[in-house]
Structure 1
Amino acid sequence: MRLAARDLAIGHGGRAIGRGLSLAVGPGEILCLLGPNGCGKTTLFRTLLGLIPALGGTVTLGEAPLARLGRAAVARRIAYVPQAHAPPFPYAAREIVLMGRTARLGPFASPGAADHAAAAAALDRLGIAGLGGQDYTRLSGGQRQLVLIARALAQGAPLLVMDEPTASLDFGNRARVLAEIAALARAGAAEGRGVIFSTHDPEQAFALGAEVLLMQGGAIRARGRPEAALTAARLSEVYGVPITVERTESGRLVCAAPLGLRRGG
């Protein structure tokens, strides 16, 4: 399954905040979307998911135009991990994960043994099986995010769209999620799965070796492999602060900005 957007215009209420956006991701591929707050990342994601209509251009899932697919058909093809989620009732974590199976059930059908097994496997894969019986609303922000990722895995869709999946995680859980994204991509060619995720941390793109789209002001500022797209000069321009990109003795690329920056300086 391949997700592709061509010459996309995005926005709200008929007002465009981004134009000329083109991208594609398929099995075994990771596409990393970076950019400052307000650049249009979340609006782009919501458009790719069909949650808001495109103002121009096209989005296709496989050979099918997104606009012609119903919500259930989209959900069987794309699983979404939002930045935050607040259910109206105190569901157990395993019930939240089980909700990922909804798109695969018929009208008025209840989850069966295979659906419960898929939910349990997703919790176990992320190392949070012990949270299954706990009240989701009482979990920490990082734990809730891991549950949402497990829900997306249980959904069994060939495409995962993750909106800043590591934003609220501590160091250990952030490393676990990045490792899972890498593992999903490695298995993607065989399993037919691709991943799109957004982040504020260029080092995550370096670590994963992911294809990069760097956005600024609703436009794509750069694209390509991270070493070529995320240069110090380009990152400094996009984020408005002097940024250096250096390679450590272990070969890892890291980014840094000087401390003590003054407003307007």
Structure 2
Amino acid sequence: MLEARDLAIGHGGKAIGAGLSLDVRPGEILCLLGPNGCGKTTLFKTLLGLIPALGGQVRVDGASLAGLSRAQIAQAVAYVPQQHAPPFPYEAIEIVLMGRTARLGAFAQPGAADRRVAEASLERLGIADLAGRDYSRLSGGQRQLVLIARALAQEAPLVVMDEPTASLDFGNQARVLAEVAKLARDAESEERGVILSTHDPDQAFALGADVLLMRDGAIVGRGRPEEALTGESLSAVYGVPVSVERTESGRLVCAPALRHSAPSMTCDALMMT
């Protein structure tokens, strides 16, 4: 579905990362982790063709990304950015309808079928009541959910999410993660590939996602979460002591070692007290 080989990324001809290789197939979730400034967002924008690669190659469904039009890329890959500030006070449903643009002809307007897809996308995320609301006046979490609904309405086989849960409360994080898992592995619909970045390693465990660990523009670890996300690897990437522990329920969780503090309690343990 998507393949990058020996990719070099950067801005204005200045490389910030090189030797990056990855691939995503239908039904797979790839979770990208790394500290701020390591190159995650630049990598995503390069995979989407928003900025040119400085070296290497990106292929989508076997075709070189460089040879595809913007409409062809949009039909194959949907993007959920970290944040979005439209220049006009659009309604939430209008933002979601923008996901249909690549499937419309030149100068065509969304029709009734497109609106049904957009409404279904909002309903799927439990935010149908936001359809007529001014998008610019929604909370950060609500705006993020609307952007995810827009990606659903795009009906692309690959979804790229740049820290999709960063501005969401705990309940909405759980809702989005459940939707990510369903997007990739729902047997009742066409399987999608999903790439997402996050600052929370526990999300990779929860999703059972393949993992890429990045630091200083390089991939320094990859594999299944139980193999790639160890105390040693996370400590090296984030520069703080980290331990990976198994809760009483059998779930793996990451816990930073905080100096001069009481022993940490996991959510599982807290729920039992």
- TM-score band by shorter chain is over 0.9
Counterpart for residue 59 of structure 2: 60
C-alpha RMSD of matched pairs (Å): 1.1
Counterpart for residue 23 of structure 2: 24
Query: How far apart, CA to CA, are the structure 1 residues paired with 2:173 and 2:227?
Result: 25
Counterpart for residue 154 of structure 2: 155
Counterpart for residue 122 of structure 1: 121
Deviations 1:169-206 (A, max 9, x none): 00000000000001111127951410000000000001
Query: How far apart, CA to CA, are the structure 2 residues paired with 1:95 and 1:161?
Result: 21
Counterpart for residue 269 of structure 2: none
2:46 alignment partner, SS class: helix
1:254 alignment partner, SS class: strand
Specify the code of the residue in structure 1 equivalent to 2:87: P
Query: How far apart, CA to CA, are the structure 2 residues paired with 1:228 and 1:166?
Result: 24
Query: How far apart, CA to CA, are the structure 2 residues paired with 1:138 and 1:189?
Result: 35
Residues 193-208 of structure 1: pairs in structure 2 closer than 5 A: 193-208=192-207
Residues 72-151 of structure 1: pairs in structure 2 closer than 5 A: 72-151=71-150
1:177 equivalent in alignment to 2:176: yes
Does the 8 Å CA contact 1:182/1:208 hold for their aligned counterparts? yes
Query: How far apart, CA to CA, are the structure 2 residues paired with 1:101 and 1:158?
Result: 14
Q: Percent identity?
A: 76
Equivalent pairs counted in the alignment come to 260
Deviations 1:23-53 (A, max 9, x none): 0001100000000001000000000000000
Where structure 1 has 5 or more consecutive residues not aligned to the other structure, the ranges are none
Specify the code of the residue in structure 1 equivalent to 2:35: P
Query: How far apart, CA to CA, are the structure 1 residues paired with 2:104 and 2:191?
Result: 21
2:90 alignment partner, SS class: coil
TM-score with structure 1 setting the length: 0.96
TM-score with structure 2 setting the length: 0.93
Which shifted more, 179-188 or 220-229? 179-188
Deviation at 1:252, TM superposition (A): 1.1
Counterpart for residue 251 of structure 2: 252
Does the 8 Å CA contact 1:76/1:156 hold for their aligned counterparts? yes
Deviations 1:101-147 (A, max 9, x none): 00100001010111001000000000000000100011000000000
Does the 8 Å CA contact 1:27/1:189 hold for their aligned counterparts? no
1:161 alignment partner, SS class: strand
1:241 equivalent in alignment to 2:240: yes
Query: How far apart, CA to CA, are the structure 2 residues paired with 1:260 and 1:147?
Result: 39
In the TM superposition, structure 1's runs of 4+ consecutive aligned residues that sit over 4 Å from their partners are none
Deviations 1:70-99 (A, max 9, x none): 111100000000000000111110110011
Counterpart for residue 263 of structure 2: none
